[in-house]
Amino acid sequence: MESTSFMGSTSFTRSKTTDFFYKLSYVVYLFGLPNYWLEELKLPKRFVRLYDKFLMFNNGLIYFLIFFELAAFFTQTNLTEKQNSNLILYALSHPMLFSFHVMLSRLQNKVRLLMYNLTVRLKAVHNDLEVERQMLTRTYMYVFALLFSCCLSMVMYAAEAVWEVVRYDVTFTTLVTAYPDVEDRSGFANVVRALCFIIWWIFLTRMFAVYMLVISLTTCLSHQYKNLQSYFMSLSDIFEREDCSQAEKEELYEIGFKVGIKLHSETLRCTQQTQTVCRGVFSGQIVFNICLLVVLMAQMANSERTLMNLCATVFTATAVLIGTGFYMWNAGDVTVEASHLGTAIYFSGWYNCQGQSSVRLRKLVVITMCEAQRPVLLKGLGYIELSYQSYITIVKSSYSVFSMIF
């Protein structure tokens, strides 16, 4: 086990969780977000200086691309039904998605503190290796599923544009921008289209970074409640020891139980920190999900029903639903796992205590269980509880909005 420093003062012990979040911080940094890890990444300082400038330049290109798309509403007057639908789709989604990147970039210190609390501080006393394995497995599964669906959606839109070129001899148009005109076949126009397509993929890496970070943090938080359950359940093992008297066992149990209360308090604080850090992303994703599904359903209803059109629309809708689903499912897991904590506290072994120690600890256990039974909720838009049920409600709401408009 290796120790290092956090902000120059606090040491921490490495684990599989810290190794994972170091790699995560490394990837999201390369994808355009700040370094959220507890220490400097193992990159040459000269590379970091140059890369930071490169990221700023790329962000400037993305801002320009978004402006270029919005300006197309005033310059592009010769669009097909499909192209007009794509213009609305991208002009609506890109500013909203990039705002997630901006919000998380401004919260670097808060994200770093949350990451430290989840990966180091709360695991210093107890780290159930099986819970840790489950957390890492689920995080990898969610992240790779999301990246695959997003990339597949992008590839299908590019394939659809290529198919249009081959079938109808039109220009290669994936994004509708203020320039060039969709009928412009000049060499310079093709260069601009290629550059916009490249910037679009750079933009996508920013979105990957945001989704990877938020999914990993919320998954780790939900499994921290499982880790806390494991801690309280492990306290009953104290009374199985043969090297201590009954009084010593009761004293060790009381000390351990109070440590568990402190861990619970710190976990609740981490939940509030997660809400603060991810509030904007949670809220924006709900609005994004509803708006994009409405636009995609309208696109499917009004565009030509070819295999390429269908695949592009379906894969995009799937990517949107998966992204929102992972946010809300993880938030729902936080609520579910927190609700199981009271049961773990009850079976922590207090019933093995005797005499005055039993009377004192029963009161402490009752108070702690009452606190653990309070619902732990993450919310979007200030009042929407993020859960499995609310996810279904949001998806149904998207169809209801589509039905009323169309």
Q: How far is the C-alpha of 265 from the C-alpha of 218, rounded, in Å?
A: 17
- Name residues whose C-beta falls within 8 Å of residue 8's C-beta, 6 or more positions apart in sequence: none
Cis peptide, bond prior to residue 180, ω within 30 of zero: yes
Q: pLDDT value at position 276? A: 94
Question: Picking from 15-24, 71-80, 105-114, 361-370, which range would have the lowest pLDDT averaged per residue?
Answer: 71-80
Model-level pTM greater than 0.85? yes
Mean pLDDT along residues 163-190: 87
Are the beta carbons of 33 and 105 closer than 8 angstroms? yes
Any idea how long the chain is? 406
Q: Answer yes or no: is pLDDT of 7 > 70.
A: no
Q: How far is the C-alpha of 202 from the C-alpha of 125, rounded, in Å?
A: 41
Q: How far is the C-alpha of 60 from the C-alpha of 46, rounded, in Å?
A: 22
Are the beta carbons of 21 and 115 closer than 8 angstroms? yes
Are the beta carbons of 164 and 181 closer than 8 angstroms? no
Q: pLDDT value at position 387? A: 87
pLDDT in tens, 238-251: 998 888 899 999 99
Helix (H), strand (E) at residue 12: strand 10-13
Q: How far is the C-alpha of 49 from the C-alpha of 349, rounded, in Å?
A: 55
Helix (H), strand (E) at residue 379: strand 379-380
Are the beta carbons of 350 and 245 closer than 8 angstroms? no
β-pairing, 10-13 with 3-6?
Answer: antiparallel
Reported confidence tier of residue 85, pLDDT bands at 50, 70, 90: confident
Q: Answer yes or no: is pLDDT of 406 > 60.
A: no
Q: How far is the C-alpha of 229 from the C-alpha of 206, rounded, in Å?
A: 35
235 vs 86, more confident: 235
Reported confidence tier of residue 317, pLDDT bands at 50, 70, 90: confident
Mean pLDDT along residues 332-349: 94
Q: How far is the C-alpha of 29 from the C-alpha of 252, rounded, in Å?
A: 44
- What average pLDDT does the chain have? 88
Strands in 240-286 per DSSP E: none
Question: Picking from 174-183, 223-232, 307-316, 347-356, which range would have the lowest pLDDT averaged per residue?
Answer: 307-316
- Name residues whose C-beta falls within 8 Å of residue 190's C-beta, 6 or more positions apart in sequence: 171, 172
- For 115, counting Cβ atoms within 10 Å of its Cβ (0-12 exposed, 13-18 middle, 19+ buried), the class is buried
Within 303-387, where are the H helices? 307-339, 341-346, 355-372
Q: pLDDT value at position 197? A: 92
- Name residues whose C-beta falls within 8 Å of residue 270's C-beta, 6 or more positions apart in sequence: 114, 117, 118, 122, 221, 224
Q: How far is the C-alpha of 179 from the C-alpha of 69, rounded, in Å?
A: 9
Q: Fill in the DSSP letter of residue 3.
A: E
Distances (CA, A) of 203 to 13, 58, 103, 113, 151: 35, 8, 15, 27, 12
Q: How far is the C-alpha of 335 from the C-alpha of 338, rounded, in Å?
A: 5
